Structure 1
């Protein structure tokens, strides 16, 4: 397995040393970040070069690798704005757990990556740092909520990046930026121990990268048990990832239940035909569960989780006035739910988990697009309709990702190709819990045959 530092050095055309890679990384950030706005809160160059010079060869899996932490997580000494003016001046006193693990593995934190306000919405803009642009068309969205991370990867500013995924936030921006994103099995990457993971099991941290090997290396560092967490799923080893094929169930638009913009399905189906040529077995299948039941359960549990985390800001009229409208709507909706509504949503989740298990008896993974539309105009807050179908919430257009999120399944987003307008689309492969290495192995087989991030780099 090639080291992440070596991959980064080869792409940048420099010696595989921490100082040379850091110099080239900062030069690339200076060259393109002004137009993309993916990396925020960039640290001082002299301090970063001194830190790179102090790295010992082989001192950790990520020794000398520049990283930027998503601006929802704490990195000691850097601001954690979460895209909100309420926290614009907040400087973290300590690292979050996965950030500490990245530093312990030798990674050098150069700054943060941009995110929507509190990570809500699959479009990266906020009143603190502004909008992140898609490197393939600066007038378009880079997706979200890990849009800053995906855009930084696509633009060649980073080789690997952390992200988080509740409603596709590691998958949607990866698909729209022609890179890789991985949502791990729930519990594999522990969250911050805040005492809420007994009830809220919808979101997880995870890796993004320009290659599946980068995903595997970062996941090994992020993963592993933490005794303070109630749900633990063991460890992950990058060496267990080997190129492989598998049986894939193609769900398309979920039997017509998910409206999709013209060209989205065609692009994904073209990629799947290429996968068949590589030895994958791909079969279209009927929807394994009722789409509306999944959606109702999802928005109930999501609104409940969001309200639980942000209610204190909602209770104070002064702070509520500084929240974006969709955030206020989500909190209010969650607070209005009854206990039995939440319970019924949880029951639906359990039934869907059993149905998915039956599907995985016949297939190694099921496949869906990473989004239902192409990267949209950056000036929009969200798409109000897709293919003539009105969207009844600010996130309905990302319904395609919820089947994995609802029951904690691992999912890898791989580049699927480009549409008629030259914009990228991704394909998500979703597997049973614990199939993380197998899914990244499928992505590696695809990457070796296509190498989309390098073959079709953005022209910035």
Structure 2
């Protein structure tokens, strides 16, 4: 019975609670049982919060019996919170030895929204040290392993979240994404991960808010669940200068296209297809796997007449300079003083990125900001011709967990831990939301597609991603 419960979608679990077919406490215990069975070999949940969750569930049991639970969309839904996001009185370690015993004094805004909506936080999910890199290992909690091959990585930095979802330890999870940290692990674990439009999920911990690359976002096993969590954590907060309210439903994106006034309101969505955005290295297995999936989508009866997939020549050549420069600047701002005080207790990649940021000239920074504007305009012009853009999420399949990052992709040598993620980092440099959607398996390992939309198209993006993913079962 418990294994059946945890396999259900979050929306179905919430329905069962509303109908009193299952109580919040019963649902929580089913997830705790799953964590105790799966986590010892996966290492997704790094800080369990079982007793606090049990106390909250008992209160919710009474709310359900009293008929007072219907205003809480996540009541009884078991969630994981990334160990970079704060919960008051609970450790936030960032996977760093420097923060092993750090107790948060205030709950992160989007996490508080989840709790206020009734979510039961069962634990913190594992992340790379300081969430840097897309391979989840750190000196505090160790490595998180892929549920589909426990010798391989889950990606990162929201790797613990993705693995916990894939093994039904949680029904929903949060994460964050600077260069792919919601999308890469979602692809590697066969779940959905949304990098929202910057500002849609407000944050109070921005370092350089007006040039921000990073954002919190939702992860889930189904598109409907992703939409549910996103609807809870998104929305304006006056304390975040970038925040805004998304419309309750996104207007038709066809109004963005040239000649849209003459087109039928029922004309198919036009999705531009690019394997590599003109910049990203891809392993042969990924390139061929992507081509196979485009063929399946074009042949899918359930999409017939509703979607057109059109190959496009798009080259986001500005993206690497933009992403690397702004990321380095952000690292210098975040880690500069910390590295001076504790140079031996921070991993080498962070030190390297921080030193690159400290060495930047004003001219280099201004050039990157100018290039970013050009890049955003280039992609937005694409959305006058197409509703969405579709790419592989990642240029590689999940790689062996004992290596730090792939050193060669598609015959190209990788000089650091960033270059292999170029399909994601190129989009991070823009203002567009992007989602990794499950697209079946290659050689027994999950494979994801990245769907990109115009700024603030997040809700419709989730809906379309669900329809595309359904083609792959």
TM-score w.r.t. the length of structure 1 is: 0.90
User: How big is the shift at 1:294?
Assistant: 1.7
Check the 8 A contact 1:220/1:236 in 2, yes or no: no
Q: Measure the CA separation in 2 of the matches of 1:371 and 1:407.
A: 17
1:207 equivalent among 205, 218, 231: 218
Partner residue, 1:6: 12
User: How big is the shift at 1:269?
Assistant: 2.5
Deviation per CA, 1:303-335, whole angstroms, max 9, x where unpaired? Answer: 11111111121121xx12100010110111110
User: How big is the shift at 1:247?
Assistant: 1.4
Partner residue, 2:59: 54
Partner residue, 2:358: 335
**Structure 2 residue 440 is matched with structure 1 residue 445:** no
User: How big is the shift at 1:239?
Assistant: 10
Which has the larger displacement, 165-174 or 245-254? 245-254
Instruction: Calculate the aligned-residue CA RMSD, in Å.
Output: 2.1
1:283–1:7 Cα change, 3 Å: farther
User: How big is the shift at 1:17?
Assistant: 2.4
1:239–1:347 Cα change, 3 Å: closer
Deviation per CA, 1:110-153, whole angstroms, max 9, x where unpaired? Answer: 11000001110000000001000000000000000000000000
User: How big is the shift at 1:275?
Assistant: 2.5
**Structure 2 residue 153 is matched with structure 1 residue 141:** yes
Gaps of 5+ in 1: 452-460
In structure 2, the residue corresponding to 1:274 is in which secondary structure? helix
**Structure 2 residue 280 is matched with structure 1 residue 258:** yes
Check the 8 A contact 1:5/1:16 in 2, yes or no: no
Which has the larger displacement, 371-380 or 259-268? 259-268
Deviation per CA, 1:393-435, whole angstroms, max 9, x where unpaired? Answer: 221100111222112210111012211x211111000011011
In structure 2, the residue corresponding to 1:361 is in which secondary structure? helix
**Structure 2 residue 395 is matched with structure 1 residue 381:** no
2:35 equivalent among 10, 29, 32: 29
Q: Measure the CA separation in 1 of the matches of 2:30 and 2:190.
A: 22
In structure 2, the residue corresponding to 1:281 is in which secondary structure? strand
**Structure 2 residue 290 is matched with structure 1 residue 285:** no
Check the 8 A contact 1:5/1:18 in 2, yes or no: no
**Structure 2 residue 235 is matched with structure 1 residue 224:** yes
Q: Measure the CA separation in 2 of the matches of 1:272 and 1:284.
A: 10
**Structure 2 residue 244 is matched with structure 1 residue 233:** yes
Q: How does 1:105-184 map to 2 (within 5 A)?
A: 105-184=117-196
**Structure 2 residue 197 is matched with structure 1 residue 185:** yes
Partner residue, 2:384: 361
Moved over 4 A (4+): 236-241
Q: Measure the CA separation in 2 of the matches of 1:138 and 1:98.
A: 31
User: How big is the shift at 1:238?
Assistant: 8.1
1:132–1:222 Cα change, 3 Å: same
TM-score w.r.t. the length of structure 2 is: 0.88
Deviation per CA, 1:66-114, whole angstroms, max 9, x where unpaired? Answer: 1111001101121100010000101112201111111110111111000
Deviation per CA, 1:247-267, whole angstroms, max 9, x where unpaired? Answer: 111110234x42211221222
Deviation per CA, 1:369-392, whole angstroms, max 9, x where unpaired? Answer: 111111011010111111321102
Q: Measure the CA separation in 2 of the matches of 1:390 and 1:68.
A: 36
Q: Measure the CA separation in 1 of the matches of 2:420 and 2:21.
A: 44
Partner residue, 2:90: 78
